[in-house]
Amino acid sequence: MTRKTLKVALLQETDRGSRDANLDAIETGLREAAGAGAQLVLLQELHNGPYFCQRESVEVFDQAETIPGPGTARIGKLAQELQLVVVASLFEKRAAGLYHNTAVVFDRSAEIAGKYRKMHIPDDPAFYEKFYFTPGDLGFEPIDTSVGRLGVLVCWDQWYPEAARLMALAGAELLLYPTAIGWDPTDDQPEKDRQRDAWITVQRGHAVANGLPLLACNRTGFEAAPDDVGAGIQFWGNSFVAGPQGEFLAQAGTDRRELLLADIDLERSEHVRRIWPFLRDRRIDAYADLLKRFRD
């Protein structure tokens, strides 16, 4: 049997200080990825600027953009020129007072193939996303592309096995997570290690539980808190690609810009699901309590 191999690229980047500089860096990365033979490129969460959710500020809403809009036009043009499937991540202005954290997929075309609006929205110190983002309303629907059905989720969705499972049940062939996660610089090193290891482990678990390859692209570098309202965030990078048994296919470093490349055997999921038939053995007749917030 001929194996079907997909070469993927993850563009782990730092904030370059301006929207144009970030888009220039993305263009450079996409050209590098295409030159290396990649067919699918995953970008990090909210890649057009700094991670602005460290504080609550109404002026930040001015950074949001419509979809389609200028940001999607530039990335879409590159996807078409370079014949790439690209998963981008934008601060979407849907209407006045209505904003989303939205992933956008281009399929070797300037036209948008599909989008996903982040469903789980955090509200933690330095991650005040509930102030900015309305929870998504597009559901957990894979996006069909020329390289397969993409189950695109975003950052905080990474902690929820339900999200990955619903994408798998809807026929996703790959799970993809654009991400912006990092350390509080005041935490000690053991706590930092626990947080990063938990982030990696839970996603590898999603790959295993669903028998699917998984791509997680994180940003890297230190971003100071605006107006010195906090300690800032040290984004921990460590973007990675895992196979359907959770095995690492590629992993980036912690503190530098990196174009991470990996080859994915798309036929392995079928093999893994035959020996580990988790979908077959699910007790769907006994899961009604999952629809409750908590069992009192």
Q: Name beta bridge partners: 215.
A: 176, 241
Residue 155 annotated among the catalytic residues of the structure? yes
Number of residues in the chain: 296
d(CA 91, CA 259): 23
Tell me which residue of 85, 245, 226, 80 sits closest to 149, measured CA to CA: 85
Kind and range of the H or E element at 275? helix 268-275
Indicate which residue of 53, 92, 129, 155 is catalytic: 155
d(CA 139, CA 167): 9
Indicate which residue of 45, 92, 173, 258 is catalytic: 45
SS3 state of residue 279 = coil
Residue 118 annotated among the catalytic residues of the structure? yes
Give the pairing type, strands 5-12 and 40-43: parallel
Residue 81 annotated among the catalytic residues of the structure? no
Q: DSSP readout, 187-227? A: S-HHHHHHHHHHHHHHHHHHHHHHT--EEEEE-EEEEPPGG
Burial label for 276, CB within 10 Å (0-12, 13-18, 19+), is middle
Indicate which residue of 118, 129, 217, 258 is catalytic: 118
Residue with tokens 């947080």: 195
Residues identified as active-site: 45, 118, 155
